[in-house]
């Protein structure tokens, strides 16, 4: 599954984001993840792509509309390069 760079899921805003927990509880984070390195958002286990993206939810767009928008943006960026 491709993951969007605009993704903002429930874990990102409800305080359960691993990177937010890292800053608040470094000992717990290190115990769970084996190091204090930040997790890349696109590789986060909580990132479910468009299915749980708050941006799509609050803008009342469907998953298909959100994915189509990202495909168009990707094509525009490739054409500008």
Whether residue 50 contacts residue 8, with contact meaning beta carbons closer than 8 Å, is answered with no
Q: What is the mean pLDDT of residues 12-33?
A: 84
Tokens representing 77 are 């960026």
| pTM (2 d.p.) | 0.56
Residue 50 φ/ψ, nearest 5 degrees: -65, -20
Rounded-to-integer distance, Cα 15 and Cα 21, Å: 7
Tell me the pLDDT tens digit for each residue of 44-80: 888 887 777 877 667 777 777 777 776 655 544 555 5
């Amino acid at each position: 599954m491709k993951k969007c760079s605009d993704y903002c899921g429930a874990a990102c805003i409800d305080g359960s984001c691993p990177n937010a927990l890292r800053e608040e509880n470094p000992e717990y984070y290190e115990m769970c993840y084996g190091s204090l390195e930040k997790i890349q958002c696109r590789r986060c286990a909580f990132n479910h792509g468009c299915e749980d993206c708050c941006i799509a939810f609050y803008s009342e767009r469907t998953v298909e509309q959100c994915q189509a928008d990202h495909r168009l943006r990707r094509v525009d960026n490739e054409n500008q390069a």
